[in-house]
Chains A and B, each alone.
Chain A
Amino acid sequence: MFRRQIPLALCFIMGVTMMIHFFIKHPFVQSDMLNEASNFATVIGLFAMFLGIYSLTRVHWMKIRHRRSDWFFSYLLFAALLNMAILGNLIGTGADTPFQWFYDAFMVPLQSTTFSLLSFYMASASYRAFRAKNFEATVLLIAAIIVMFGRVDVGPWLLPDTSVGNIPVPGVNELSNWLLFVPNNAASRGIFLGIGLGSIATAFKMILGIERTYLG
């Protein structure tokens, strides 16, 4: 019976608690109640971390057990997980520790490399997929070229602000800034207002128990 009522009640209480501190300036609401609510978030966050580790371990253990594709890499994951947890907890995570060495030698280059691969995919995609097939696509393409050109040093150097007679002609940097601060800004603001209004509506529906899909 209480499988639905208790989560709904908790959602209502916490939702209202986090909302009213914007409107009530009483010290109890501003300090004690807010701190207590924040502590709840910290505790829930820690539980979520343990749940994440459990889930990750289970998925990779099953992968090894059933010899699914690339199962060997799951052993690497366990080795890395245990290594960092043991080093961090026993010796510490500060500068000049083995934890820091593993972080600098593995984590930093691996993550940086993965992210930098994007430039290769973008170059390939720009060659094969970015087409001026219709008017809208052509506008988008021209805008993208101007912004890309204006956001690097070589752009303003090749196409600086100039003038023809008394008429000033904006350079690529000026044009790029105009595109970012005027049309892009107008569109972004509209999207943000839509997201904001949608979020408020969804939050109210959840707090009031109308939206219950999160209960599963």
Chain B
Amino acid sequence: MLRINVRYVYLIVFIAVTIPMIFQPNLPTVTSPSVEMLYKEIESLPRGSRVILSLDYDPSTEPELQPMAEAILRHCFRRGIRVFGMTMNLQGQNLGTKVFSKVAKAFHIPDDGTMYVYAGFRVGPVLLQMGEDIIETFQTDFVQRDLRSLPMMQGVKNLRDFELCISLSGTSIGYSWINWPGTRYGKKIALGVTGVLVTNYIPFLQSGQLVGLLPGIKGAAEYEHLIGYEKGRGKQAMGSQSAAHLLIILLIIVGNVIYFMGRREERRQGQ
């Protein structure tokens, strides 16, 4: 029984993940303290503050992290907070421009560099250079406009001119944000990470080195819930995520029951 053809397991997973996508079950969302912390941090910022949102992911983790980016951007724009977008992941820089355009369009914000700037990717030790001179580090935004000419960047010199840095990633780049902008330049750091990385970053949350942590797609769904955006991709994905988790728990239980039944049978035959 344990040597079942794995293709049947794959088929069951496929069905379990697909059905909630179609029927969209509306389960209640319970928020976590680490997500509430980031929400409160952004709520506490005065109108016109500047925030760095670094979209440090590539297409492989986009389904888990882009909903976070969208929810955070929505929150910032609703509160009148200006956002400097960037990425530390070359393969992800074209994802950033899409999410900024989409959310700005929803809020009728023109792409004139007043409320947001998306600078894309730069090679080198960018986090270190940003601590000294952001304009010199990036020089232009993603569509090659001189950063000095954009209204949001007037009076900006370096990291000190930003209230909060948020990095969304599926890699260990979060440590660099904690080490450089966080420890070296004393900035407040919040992270959004894929589900598998959450446990790595929890110690930094408890030590106060992080002011918020969004854990995987659940974190995105919780943030959407907090800002009252119930139609987001995070919430939509929670049905499939719930079904997949339940199925894996069920498979573990079934696998163990069969395993112990087999062992009992072996013992009985041995006697």
Contact = CB atoms under 8 A, between A and B. Distances in A.
Given A31-B132, A131-B256, A107 B91 contact: yes
Interface in A92-109: 93-95, 99-100, 103-104, 107-109
A148 B9 contact: no
A181 B93 CA distance: 33
Secondary structure at the B interface, as helix, strand, loop or mixed, is helix
B241 interface: yes
A31 B131 CA distance: 10
Interface string B228-258: 0000000000110111111111011011100
A145 interface: yes
B248 A122 contact: yes
Contacts of B248: 122-123, 126, 148
B59 A111 contact: yes
B200 to A, nearest CB: 7
Interface of B: 2, 4, 6, 9-10, 12-14, 17, 27-30, 32-33, 58-63, 91, 93-95, 97-98, 101, 123-125, 128-129, 132, 142-144, 184, 195, 198-200, 202-203, 206, 215-216, 218, 221, 238-239, 241-249, 251-252, 254-256, 259
Interface of A: 22, 30-31, 34-35, 38-39, 41-42, 45-46, 49, 93-95, 99-100, 103-104, 107-112, 114-116, 119-120, 122-124, 126-128, 130-132, 141, 144-145, 148-149, 151-157, 173, 177, 180-181, 184-185, 188-189, 192
Contact of A123 (B13, B29, B30, B202): B13
B221 to A, nearest CB: 7
